[in-house]
Amino acid sequence: MAALVMVLNGPNLNLLGTREPEVYGAATLDDIAAALVNQGKALEIEVDLRQSNHEGHLIDWLHEAGGRGALAVILNAGAYTHTSIALRDAIKAIAVPVIEVHLSNPAAREQFRHRSHVSPVAAGVIQGFGAHGYALALDAAARMRQSDR
Ligand code: DQA
Domains of the chain: 3-148 (3.40.50.9100)
Shortest-distance atom of ligand 1 to CA 127: 11
pTM for the full predicted model: 0.97
pLDDT confidence of residue 2: 86
Is it the case that residue 43 has pLDDT exceeding 60? yes
Q: Do 40 and 109 contact (CB within 8 A), yes or no? A: no
Sheet holding 3-9, edge to edge: 45-51, 3-9, 72-76, 98-102, 124-127
Q: Give dist(CA 80, CA 59) in Å, integer.
A: 11
Query: In which band, very low, low, confident or very high, does the pLDDT at 147 lie, cut at 50, 70 and 90?
Result: low
For the question of residue 24 being annotated catalytic, the response is: yes
Is it the case that residue 105 has pLDDT exceeding 90? yes
For the question of residue 114 being annotated catalytic, the response is: no
- The active-site residue, picked from 24, 80, 117, 134, is 24
- The active-site residue, picked from 57, 63, 102, 134, is 102
